[in-house]
Chain A
């Protein structure tokens, strides 16, 4: 049995005005477990807290009930008081007789009566309280960033700046991501490479950062502060530490008709290749599907020409196991496939391209050295048609497109159109739009410049179909303002394809037990207040893996994620919330109901041996809650059919005791 002390606060007249505090403390004196009851003007004051401490000592109290303002106000205060008096802080319960009683009820009788009942409920609960100790777990002071695009790069740099080691895992042979493929960036039109590649070099040169390029995360175990991660470093058949990136091997490689992924297949590369000149690491990679030496042992030229002796045809995938305190997901995006949009003849004509392809086409380092020409015949296009919202905001066609707005298309299309008109004033440029969305600093000005200064023809309407005819693309579209159907003969059509999360994100989310929405974007812990954290503790989100974003937004989020990581890594130990779920192994069935509803992946299962009442042993699957991961929502407690799952601080019997006390 608890020895409970009850302390009724007047809160000046705030409580005492509508509640007879004397009567309350008198009435509660007789409750089971109560050995001391008093009231005072301001319990939260120094004197009030002293009164509590003294009473704890004099009456050997084991539990404290404070009838006062909301626990959201002073629960922490009175818990500290309890600690100072030598009690466990979780032996304190607050009866909220101000916000939820004296301030909302005018009648003293009713208010007093209710205050007594609320006090009784708190006493009933505290009678069942047990001291709780938050768990502590050490923090491994190293971060993992998954994805080496601008988001991952920025996050890694910021974390490393704070002095913590960071590993960046990138599945391509080079970091850089989508931004490396871009030509110019809106709305300032500075060149993407000019601002990105210095950052890539910074990453390479930062001694706190390790880059695992051409690598994938294959397994994640553990929890915040201590994630055990397995990384598979795929064999690139070139010794990374030996290769100087001179490119001699590339030049001599006889297999030169391999579609170049970096240029989206618009030109070719060799079987041994460096994706682009500023690649980091600037190391060659052999494509095992294309290399003759690897396929049938014939060739070996690259090995012969490599002065450094970096070629290693026998290289194997390498498995790296490392522990991290925090993980940042920066897996980025891809444009969706245009294969299914038959109406735009993407599969039929080389001159119907996506915007990302257009970026490569206009990029000085691209397949045409920046000359805007038609991919089909290399001729200069005169009429260009840009189509917006291809696959975005597409509700009826889940198999084709996406329901959401891809956010960046309006701006990059304006950029494309403007740059085209700027470089080639002889062109006619049409942009078909549903809406033009330009929220952002200098964004609308940018769009208006495209229209007003560069004469881009924005048409409110949509392209219905495109038919290649001869060397023209017959474009049929609507102009809703003119209420006309337009028929244009275009030379080049650029589709603003919707963007989607990278396909590696879904399996990664499963490994991380991080939640995703139906579109495979990672869910943030709170859409407004915790936008860069995943609900899974220790997992943070950077860039477009969380939702469509442009570069400035991505970089800000990357920095925010980094600051959250730093905030975590500076701690030596993580102190958990002790109000976490606990599974009673004796009554747990191992049915997985709790696991299914846990938003944090805090529940795992163990096969445990039990000594049964009949003296046999039985191996049973039982739930085990990781207190470092559990946030204490209690969803599992209700999902559990056997009642094996309970929640510290809000135990079933405590809540029922409160119910009983209130309904008495």
Chain B
């Protein structure tokens, strides 16, 4: 399904390693089952030949790793970034979270990544191998006699169905063609929730948030959450908390988490991807993005380095908090 091949990426990286432009490559390392790829540092072309993969399951956004990895590495780090990842990249630069000079970005096109849960819904558990064949994902399992062929478009990750941009907003080298910002229906689900009654919305979120186990994966995977010490880990912050003792704390955590990244969140979707409990956390972020777009004009965090986040900005004509619900379409 991906237009770009593993070999192309290895070639590009090998060249840059060979000519000394970069010392290390941050890429996807092979796993046990074909779909379980791990972000991995490669030092040589040979290491890449042995352990590097690129397939429909390379969803992880590498931008956040740059904060820690650039601090310790000698030389430049090559990082492969998909279009959506580059927005996080720029946002982190805006916030001075790493040194641009220490990174070499190879922009790679992305046709959308697959969600293994959706694959398994079709193929069933017990995957023994998984491969790509044109637009299809071919899965062999312990239980089916013949390999199951799945149209990759039917198992796209939620964030890829609603891909907002095929455009790389940052790169040193771009493989493939320059893409464009694309129209997406990413706010539809937010709109659907908005059109519910408050009681329905409350019930919806109670049900979702009560699943939270406070593993912090959403926070720890989020490229906007790069605080040295998170307020939720800091006993002096007044909101520190290790477990969701009750529904208040579940809500508190998720409201504050979303508020802290509001205006900075690029909508990369990592939070929802990594949630072990399948809570649609991205909807909280998208709600903020949608509101900001509606209230203060379209803003895409990370579209350009140095842009001012709408919540650290204002105009004298801004909407009043009392006006935000005027004209909103909803049931009584």
Contact = CB atoms under 8 A, between A and B. Distances in A.
Interface of A: 586-593, 596-597, 605, 618, 620-621, 639, 641-644, 652-653, 656
B235 to A, nearest CB: 11
Contacts, number: 56
B229 A587 contact: yes
Contacts of B97: 589-591
Contacts of B261: 641
A586 B229 CA distance: 8
9 contacts: A587-B227, A591-B95, A593-B312, A605-B96, A639-B312, A641-B231, A642-B228, A642-B230, A653-B238
**Minimum-distance CB pairs A-B, first 4:** A591-B95, A642-B227, A596-B312, A641-B260
A642 B313 CA distance: 19
Nearest to B238: A656
Contacts of A592: 94-96
Nearest to B72: A616
Interface of B: 71, 94-97, 226-231, 234, 236-238, 260-261, 264, 308-309, 311-313
Contact of B226 (A589, A605, A644): A589
Nearest to A620: B228
B233 to A, nearest CB: 10
A620 B96 CA distance: 10
A643 B234 contact: yes
Contacts of A587: 227-229, 234
Nearest to B95: A591
Given A618-B71, A641-B260, A589 B228 contact: yes
Q: Which of B227, B237, B309, B312 has the most CB of A within 10 A?
A: B312
Given A641-B227, A643-B231, A652-B237, A596 B308 contact: yes
Contact of A591 (B96, B231, B308): B96
A119 B312 CA distance: 35
Given A621-B96, A652-B238, A589 B227 contact: yes
A596 B260 CA distance: 15
Given A589-B228, A593-B312, 15 more contacts: A586-B228, A587-B234, A593-B95, A593-B309, A597-B312, A620-B228, A621-B96, A639-B311, A639-B312, A641-B231, A641-B264, A642-B231, A642-B234, A643-B234, A652-B238
Nearest to A641: B260
A589 B231 contact: no
Nearest to B240: A643
Contacts of A621: 96
B137 to A, nearest CB: 38
Contacts of A589: 95, 97, 226-228
Contacts of B71: 618
A616 to B, nearest CB: 8
Contacts of B228: 586-589, 620, 642, 644
A592 B308 CA distance: 10
Given A643-B237, A656-B238, A590 B309 contact: no
B96 A596 contact: no
Nearest to B225: A641
A595 to B, nearest CB: 9
Nearest to A638: B311
Contacts of A593: 95, 309, 312
B173 to A, nearest CB: 28
Nearest to A610: B228
A219 to B, nearest CB: 21
Contacts of B229: 586-587, 642
A652 B238 CA distance: 8
A600 B222 CA distance: 32
A642 B229 CA distance: 7
Contacts of A652: 237-238
Q: Which of B95, B261, B308 has the most CB of A within 10 A?
A: B95
